[in-house]
Amino acid sequence: AADASLAATRENDVVHLRLPGPPRGVEPAAGRSRGDARDDPRAEMTQPSRRKVVQAAGLGSLFPWGERAAAMAGSGRGGAPKPGSSAGGPTNETVKLVNGMRHKRMGGGDIVVSEFGLGTQRWGGADFNSPDESLCHQFLDRAVLEKGVSLIDTAEQYPIPSDRARPEGNTERIIGSWLAKDKTRREKVVLATKITGGSNVTKKNIVKDLEGSLRRFGTDYVDVYTLHWPARYTPQSNWGQSLQYHREQENAPWYRDHASFEEIAEAMSDLIDAGKLRGWGMCNDNAYGLTASCYAAYALENGHAPCVMQNDFSLINRRVEENGVTEASSPANENVGFMAYNVLAGGVLTGKYLDVAAAVDNPRDPELAERLLNDPRGRMDDYSWGKTLYRYRSGPAGDATRQYAAIADAAGVSLTELALRWCRARDGVTSSLIGHTSMAQLDETLACFDANGDKGKPLPADVAWEIDRVHMRNRLPIFASDRVGRDWDGAGEIGERVP
């Protein structure tokens, strides 16, 4: 089932790498400085603060308008403030405290989100432990109405998994039914949803799919709209352990004629100008995708640059901090926010699979495996999910998890608390997206993000250093494996291309 799912996803990724075209003119916008000279998009700027850096890096040939965009010092990169608003500033700055919950700026505009966001992938889904509509509403009551959470992250493709009775779009409908109970709730939340990626990403579909999301939410605007995965080929856009870029994949038929960066930026900018979006971004992408998206928007008349990137990030996956995403997102560069998902690594960083391995990892004990499959502790004990999410349980990932568990034990905290507090404190993270299947889980998370409580404080410096020492011995554990068959011929455990 996992292999079939992966194959379907990869087949739908009808994309091909293409740089955006040349600029058609530049106009300043509220909160985002793109220069003053409209007649000559390459006109000399009075404060070319970044041009020399871009030229030195050779980016002028990569982005033909890079010299112009690099010179812009504006304060509003990454998102568009509401009309008439003067709001803007560095991404990730703490703007306010609501019921003990810190709220941070996402991008350079006026979008401000709680530093913990509700992850909703399984809300109203067909999984064995998917929360039903009633429980989802309880989550929202507790988190939003009582504890100051504002960010809700979802997607048109949610829930995953879905079925005929609980189809894709059901999660957005559940959120909409909660909003409909009280019209004042809409202003309390920041709604982030996603368009399905790959070949589905076209200018026409960006508009059409957003309209579908708006109907299900029962609202006339979405705060943040992101690509669920890139429109082009990139090796690590979904599950598995693919990291190496394979140039021949650019010419595969399912990657040809993908939407360009410019087409996407135009569509998103038009929707922002129409009042249907406040900001946009991308998920499961990299530093190239982020930067090219920004420069495509800078080159457009009335273009709005992305305000956020969303990627997998946890104690056992710091990849974005070390591959250029955090650098590109910095207020010193493109000023773009970051939403971290899988902060608990699919449940692995709760420690519940340490003593007894996941069901699919017990081939020599079929009786135990069968018992776990029939009474799963979480997704890793489900056969399909357990296979799909194998990277979080690779040999190196397991070693790192055990070492982090030992650090947590020595510090007198749970592994869950260690993982959440560590992620919350990363200066490149705007908000951590976390899913739950019970109120007890939600309350545990809320305690770790309560600025007024002990668990809401940063980890002690000596604990943070012990975490870094483990990281230095094992820097990218979920993309390393000690289970690589001699006869696998370039394929990973779920059929993905490796290395």
pLDDT digits (tens, 9 = 90+) for 283-292: 999 999 999 9
In the numeric block, which tokens belong to residue 442? Answer: 């939600």
Confidence check: pLDDT of 72 > 90: no
> Which residues face 309 on adjacent strands?
282, 338
Quote the distance between the C-alpha of residue 77 and its chain's center: 19
Please write the tens of the pLDDT for every residue from 73-115.
333 345 544 433 336 899 999 999 999 999 999 999 999 999 9
pLDDT at residue 88, rounded to an integer: 87
CA nearest neighbour of 316 among 389, 257, 216, 378:
389
Confidence check: pLDDT of 20 > 60: no
CA nearest neighbour of 353 among 380, 315, 331, 335:
380
214, 184 contact by CB (below 8 A): no
CA nearest neighbour of 142 among 455, 451, 454, 440:
440
CA nearest neighbour of 191 among 80, 288, 266, 276:
276
**Buried b / exposed e along 330-368 (16+ C-beta atoms within 10 A):** bbebbbbbbbbbbbbbbbbbbbbbeeebbbbbbeeeeee
CA nearest neighbour of 463 among 416, 406, 401:
406
Residue % of the chain over a pLDDT of 90: 77
In the numeric block, which tokens belong to residue 155? Answer: 């997607």
> Cα(1)–Cα(493) distance, rounded to whole angstroms?
13
CA nearest neighbour of 55 among 46, 47, 66:
66
Q: Rounded mean pLDDT of 180-202?
A: 97
> Cα(122)–Cα(149) distance, rounded to whole angstroms?
19
Confidence check: pLDDT of 58 > 60: no
> Cα(121)–Cα(110) distance, rounded to whole angstroms?
26
More confident residue, 192 or 250: 192
In the numeric block, which tokens belong to residue 456? Answer: 């809401």
Confidence check: pLDDT of 29 > 70: no
The pTM (predicted TM-score) of the whole model is 0.84
Give the C-alpha distances (Å, rounded to integers) separating 428 from 286, 308, 474: 14, 11, 21
Q: Rounded mean pLDDT of 124-153?
A: 97
54, 66 contact by CB (below 8 A): yes
Give the C-alpha distances (Å, rounded to integers) separating 229 from 78, 213, 237, 311, 497: 19, 17, 6, 10, 17
Please write the tens of the pLDDT for every residue from 414-430.
999 999 999 999 999 99
Task: Name the average pLDDT for the chain.
Answer: 86
**Buried b / exposed e along 18-38 (16+ C-beta atoms within 10 A):** bebeebeebeebbbbbbbeee
Confidence check: pLDDT of 323 > 60: yes
- Look-up of token digits 């399984």: 122
Model confidence at 238, pLDDT cuts 50, 70, 90, reads: low
pLDDT at residue 78, rounded to an integer: 52
Confidence check: pLDDT of 182 > 90: yes
**Buried b / exposed e along 423-444 (16+ C-beta atoms within 10 A):** bbebebbbbbbbbbbeeebbeb
CA nearest neighbour of 393 among 355, 424, 348:
348
Find the radius of gyration of the CA atoms of the chain. Answer: 22
Confidence check: pLDDT of 337 > 50: yes
For the beta carbon of residue 249, count every other beta carbon within 10 angstroms. 18
466-472 contacts: CB < 8 A, separation 24 or more?
Answer: 466/407, 466/410, 467/315, 467/404, 467/407, 467/418, 467/422, 470/400, 470/403, 470/404, 470/407, 471/315, 471/318, 471/400
101, 329 contact by CB (below 8 A): no
Confidence check: pLDDT of 463 > 60: yes
* Pairing assessment for the beta strands 101-105 and 94-98 based on DSSP bridges: antiparallel
pLDDT at residue 236, rounded to an integer: 76
